[in-house]
Structure 1
Amino acid sequence: MDGLVMAGQLLLGLSILIILHEAGHFFAARAFGIKVEKFYLFFDAWGYKLFSFKHKDVEYGIGWLPLGGYVKIAGMIDESMDTDQLSGPPQPWEFRSKPAWQRLIVMLGGIAVNIVLGIFIFWMLTFKAGETYIPNDQLVNGLVPGKIGKEIGLQAGDRVVAVNGNPIKRFDEVTSSKVLMGNSQLTIERNNTTKTIAVPGNVLEKVADYGIGEFVTPRMHAWVGDVVAGGNAQKAGLKVGDKIIEANNKPLQYLDELKTELAAAKNQTIALKALRGTDTVSLNPAVDSDGQIGFAADVKDLPQQTQMYGLFESLPIGASKAWGAFMDNARGIGKVVTGQVKAQKAFTGPVGIANMFGGQFDVLKFWSLVGLLSMALALMNLLPIPALDGGHATFLIIEMIKGKPLSDKFMEKAQVVGFFILIALMVFVLGNDILKHVIK
């Protein structure tokens, strides 16, 4: 069932984005009097479709191949490769008969809609839910470095007070793109001294390998939250609300200290002591091969604040989040191009995106991911690859500079090249996705 919910959310989210993206092209074309022949969600490859109807000379439908969607604009060389209509003289309602600046607007219409949609979604999410965060100055126990954090020199209990010399108010700034994109500086407080730690340029690749939890997490006491029913912790008598204070005769305060002791006691029994109210109880749970005993930590140590905003206050914050998502994707692509991050670690396909949505429908999470995908789709379509909007826009800008259009033969060949580039990218992303999320 979880898999169906994931797939359903992915399909719904992508369908919304595709329909609105193509609507941007559709309405821009109609505004300039250009005839639109088809408007399809998904591709009706080889003429096969799931559903269609005709209204005012436009065929609307749903294709069977879920790799995007399209509007077929009269007099334009596109992915349909239908060049028969170009053999005759240009007609006033055709794309090719319009000025280059109008054609450019039509090509950028879908990208513009994705950007506006992303801003609108983040605006509404900010207005509805506000911003919940951990105040950095209230995180008195500091942080816990994972494998990546330890490699760059962080230690348990460190407090990050500034990023690139700028004081931080929220702990999530430590795991934001301004840090994870690398080549940044963390100012930390450790044992009443201040130090600077450099974050290398390849940190994002390592986070892709090990997960953000292996960079840094807030430090918490070893409070017991949920206990797995039938698990080793429950069998040993551990209860919700307990606070573990000793493991194998070693006093401890923090969850990371407990995890260290559990890791050293894999496939063994460990002696624990826990506070239960005012009483101290002794427990002897078995530790599994993963260093777990079967409970989730309670995050009561983590102070949280929620700041709400008015409708108009939320707009610049939402726009900033949308732009930040756009630029994070752009910088990520830049790191792939320059070789700082491997492509197979940077790109996520449908399987990975479905996993992000999760097996339970959460309205805020769903729209947050749709907003992120909308900005990612805008960036992807801006890339100057033939067959993408950015490729068409690039050729139109060249035409405007030259003062005459590129030849139909060149455009046909460019479209074919672009088509094969896109197919190769899709195969790579999907194959990489399967390897990352299915074959483990």
Structure 2
Amino acid sequence: MEVIVKIGQFLLSLSILVVLHELGHFTFAKLFKTRVEKFYMFFDPGFSLFKFKKGETEYGIGWLPLGGYVKISGMIDESMDKEQMKLPPEPYEFRSKPAWQRLLIMVGGVLVNFVLAFVIYVAVLYTWGEQYLPAENVKYGVVCDSLAESIGLQDGDKIVALDNQKVKKFNDIVPDILLNSPKSIQFIRNNEQLSVDIPSSFVPALLEKSSKGFSLSPVFDIRYPYSAVSIGKVLKESPASEAGILKGDKIVSIDSVGFSYYDQFQTFLQSKKSQSILVQLNRDGKSEQVQLTVGDDGKIGFYPQIESGLFEYETLEYTFVESIPAGFNKGIDKLGSYLKQFKLIFSSETKAYKSIGGFITIGNIFPGVWNWEAFWNLTAFLSIILAIMNILPIPALDGGHVMFLMYEIITGRKPGDKFMEYAQITGMVLLFGLLIFANGNDVVKWISNMK
């Protein structure tokens, strides 16, 4: 069910973005009296799932969900309609329009994506506000993975600053380390403030670790007191299910060993892989005992349920007027963040290209339960990504057409149709190569995680 919800959110988000992006091209084309022959959501090689014609334009839904397109008369695009280009240009064709009009037609989709992102952020902040966990309120400290431990951090450390600049939001710590390259982390351990240096090898190691999954490795998570954790959902055919453990039960001890923090319980289970253990339970105030065998993965098969109200969150609320500049600023921050991520891909030190993902990676960023606030936040961010990717100066993308139009405006010379045809083919080969590489990475990760 969780996978279905993720796929549903991804397809809905993609559909909204594709339709509005193409609507940007369509609107400017119509504004300049340029004929639009097709307006399609998704691609339709061979056949379409649905179509109808209104006026001079055919509207439809293709079967290949790799984007969408508008087919504009007199333009060499992904349809590669070369026959039309052999005929004399007509007044309603793209090639007959002034360069500045063609430029606006080509950037129309990107402009819509940027505007859409800002509008969504404004609406989200006005509707839900903004909630976050201040780093200073993570009162039990963090749980460190091996990478965090390798630079000197320990479970229970309370991170307070990066490069002696106070950390405001806990969830921003790892992205800040990745994108802003701080040199040190300040933290509190046993009521003493200490500092560790972040080596140059940390970010490449973080990206290497993240490349094995479908999201950025957390490095350190929130530490929860064991007393605040109970049994949530019990997985079917799991050791916990077969032993009769129920939702709401609390595990008091294992083999008479108690725990102060949930991560200690997890570590203890890892040391008991494939071994029989005696579990002491508290069920509705009564003591119960069950015997079970820990799985080969060091787990017994349940999701933890964390007591609510354990940490004090901050919530910022906005009036409609306040939400406009706040939404704009959030959009600018997200744009800057993505550009920094994009820059990492071309760094030989980080090898971030290994983390490039395709549809599985993108779909996996959506939550496993339907959440409209998360959906719209992610849709806004994907709209920024779509805008940036489309404006890249690669033939077959909007940015490729813009590049050639800028050349024409500056030099006064228009690239030949044959040149544009070859450029379009080259761009499509590059894009399909990138598509295969990104989704190939996803398949490799999926196979690796299945082992």
Q: Residues 108, 306 of structure 1: CA spacing in aligned structure 2 closer, same or farther, 3 A cutoff?
A: same
Say which SS state the counterpart of residue 365 (structure 2) adopts. helix
Q: Does 1:240 align with 2:248?
A: yes
RMSD: 2.9
Mapped partners of 1:212, 1:55: distance in 2? 46
**Matched residue, 2:177:** 179
1:196 CA drift (Å): 3.4
Q: Which residue of 2 aligns with 1:110?
A: 109
Deviations 1:116-138 (A, max 9, x none): 11122222222222222222222
Specify whether residues 326 and 197 from structure 1 end up closer, same or farther in structure 2 by C-alpha distance, changes over 3 A only. same
SS in 2 for 1:354: helix
- Residue deviations 1:61-91 (CA, integer Å, cap 9, x gap): 2233332211111222211222333334443
Post-superposition CA distance 1:256-284 (Å, at most 9, x none): 22222221122223456678899988776
Distance 2:93 2:233 in 1: 66
1:354 aligns with 2:363: yes
Aligned to 1:390: 399
Give 1:221 shift. Answer: 0.8
Secondary structure at 1:45's aligned position in 2? Answer: strand
1:217 pairs, out of 217, 221, 237, with 221
Aligned residue type for 1:74: S
SS in 1 for 2:208: helix
Deviations 1:385-418, CA, capped at 9 Å, x for gaps: 1000011111111222212212222111101111
Q: CA deviation at 1:238?
A: 7.8
Q: Counterpart of 2:354?
A: 345
**Pair 1:410-2:410 in alignment:** no
Distance 1:50 1:152 in 2: 54
Tell me the residue number matched to 2:36: 36
Compute the displacement of 1:376 (Å). Answer: 1.3
Query: Identity rate of aligned residues, in percent?
Result: 39
Letter in 1 for 2:363: A
8 Å contact from structure 2 (residues 249, 281) kept in 1: no
1:143 partner letter: V
Cα distance in 1 between the residues matched to 2:58 and 2:232: 54
1:435 counterpart = 2:444: yes
* 1:16-40 Cα deviation digits (max 9, x unpaired): 1111100000111222222222211
Q: In the alignment, does 2:206 pair up with 1:206?
A: no
Q: Does the aligned pair in 1 maintain the 2:231–2:246 contact within 8 Å? A: no
Secondary structure, counterpart of 2:211 in structure 1: helix
Quote the residue 1:268 is aligned against.
275
Aligned length: 437
Does residue 319 of structure 1 match 2:328? yes
Deviates more, 1:198-207 or 1:64-73: 198-207
Q: Whole-Å Cα distance in 2 between the matches of residues 270 and 43 of structure 1?
A: 55
Structure 2 residue ranges without an equivalent (≥5): none
Hey, what's the Cα distance between the residues in 2 that align with 1:84 and 1:283?
Answer: 76
Partner of 2:266: 259
**Residue 341 to residue 213, structure 1, CA distance change in 2 (3 Å):** closer
Query: What does residue 49 of structure 2 align with?
Result: 50
3-state SS of paired residue (2:428): helix
Amino acid of the residue matched to residue 331 of structure 2?
A: A
Of the three residues 224, 232, 236, the one matched with 1:226 is 232
TM-score by length of 2: 0.86
Question: Which residue is 2:119 aligned to?
Answer: 120
Task: Say which of 342, 357, 374 aligns to 1:365.
Answer: 374
What letter is aligned with 2:208? E
- 1:99 maps to 98
Alpha-carbon distance in 2 for matches of 1:62, 1:272: 55
What is the deviation of 1:158?
1.1
- Of the structure 1 ranges 62-71 and 408-417, higher mean CA displacement relative to structure 2 is found in 62-71
Cα distance in 2 between the residues matched to 1:181 and 1:281: 49
Contact kept, 8 Å, 1:224 with 1:295, in 2: the verdict is no
Pairing 1:138-157 to 2, within 5 Å after superposition? 138-157=137-156
Residue aligning to 2:345: 336
- For residue 178 of structure 1, what is the amino acid of its counterpart? D
| CA separation of 1:133 and 1:409: change in aligned 2, threshold 3 A | same
Tell me how far apart the structure 1 counterparts of residues 151 and 196 of structure 2 sit (CA, whole Å).
Answer: 11
Quickly say closer, same or farther: Cα 1:262–1:51, change in 2 above 3 A: closer
Unaligned segments of structure 1, at least 5 residues:
none
Give secondary structure in 1 for the equivalent of 2:188.
strand
- Residues 116 and 380 in structure 2, CA contact (< 8 A), matched pair in contact too: yes
The alignment partner of 2:159 has SS state of strand
Q: Which amino acid aligns with 1:260?
A: T
